[in-house]
Structure 1
Amino acid sequence: MSGPTDWALDDDEELLIKRSFANRAVRSPLVALTRVRNEAAILLDTLDHVAEFADEIIVYDDASHDGTFDIAWAHPSVAGVVRNRRWRDSMEERLLSETRHRGLLLNIAKQHFAARWFFCFDADERYIGDIRNFVRSSWADRLAAVRVRLFDAYITETDSAPYVEGHSLLNFRKYFGPEYRDIRMLWKDNGTDRYSGLDAREPIVDGDEEVLFYCQHYGKSLSIEQWDATCEYYVKYFPYEPYGKKWAARKGKAVHIRSDFGASLYPWGGELFGRAIPVT
């Protein structure tokens, strides 16, 4: 497998660009990037949600076998898809892939789409805030990047029903942990922005940035089954420290009374934000 800074397509990867988006001369205010695998249950809702503020979306499909590619390719806001046909399952390859796939998408966006801003998202996230108007504002002109404050949603005893395909994921769960991460998800194309290292969610961006928007993260709370599958994924494919040990201890404990960090849970809103605790 290519290294994390090699942005050429591998033999198992194919770039597909829709004719309606190819060779467009107009510079798009915002192009969104995502890497997905077997996200068919939530992907249509995800793409509809992101399309509310993104002008174009580029998807990396990492060897899905559940209809993810068809959903992505059919969506009117998806401009292109990288289709990877071979799943690489070693720990080293998974750590490389986290960075390389996002860097490849960024390189494709710069080569084929005239974006002013980029937004990197995951399928299990929902965003609160007027991102569309921000990237068109004079405020955006003064910043190089924006961090989004992410809170985890939790399954609780009174709210344990699984997510049902076709429903809106935004506000799906009632309770969230107060722990947050400020993740650089939105940044300007300035010629030096790039992905580097292993397991990189955030790009390296030079310049001023602020925390401006919120994110509801459902990676721990789509269903009890999905929780246990997530635990198994990190135990199997990622190093024991810091990933495997933490997730092995969480298996079978999808239903929460308190957060994974031992804090009280709160409904989405002012009390949650007022009690917010930063985590690394």
Structure 2
Amino acid sequence: MNATVDTVATMSDAERQARIELAACYRLAAHYRMTDLIYTHITARVPGEPGHFLINPYGWRWEEITASSLVKIDVDGNRVDDSRARVNPAGFTIHSAIHAASHDAAWVMHTHTRAGVAVSSLEEGLLPLNQIALQFHGRLSYHDYEGIALDLDERERLVASLGSNPALILRNHGLLTTGASAAEMFNNMFYLERACDIQVATLSMGCTPAPVPEALARHVAAQYTRTIHEEGDLGLEWEAHLRTLEALDPGYKA
């Protein structure tokens, strides 16, 4: 199922780098226990190829994903490389919607983690209970559950729900984050997942939670924007993730 020698030989440097970073995202998500066996997806738009994006081969565990195993498809679901691997229909529906509609969201990650699905099942969604959750204050959207994402007409509504925010809670379903880069998308998911995990732990204690006041929540969200996006912390975080991956198994780049 890996890409053929001819495909690799004619691949642009930009596509090759995108494949390596996308494979890294899959391996890191597996390391941080954000997988759902062979389901859910992380995708990346192919640089310089409008309408084309990379997705995992259906049936592969995320621990197995490599740069060359990723499948290139278009926003209509057609394979545009030499891979014969299957693509999950629900994954195509969700990811093609965003890749076709949003220029800024070049990278998209969707998960079904225990904490993420738990919070998605609450009417209140993500609560402003702690510092980690506050980075999503005013930056998080919600999409009502419509069943398994197999109906293509849901794509327009999904994009409308996301709006201009980088993160989306799919109610009764899971989490979704986007980014202009692998680093931004993965950072958003890493902390959205952590915020959900902390909320589940907090509410499980049976005590009265102490939400952060609105004005302070806005202030903290602005602080996060400064440190992550304006002061370079995002790049430092991504480099740290990649060092973790290199120590575990650098084979994802193959």
TM norm. shorter chain > 0.5: no
TM-score of the pair, normalised by structure 2: 0.28
Greater percentage in strand: 1
Greater percentage in helix: 2
TM-score of the pair, normalised by structure 1: 0.26
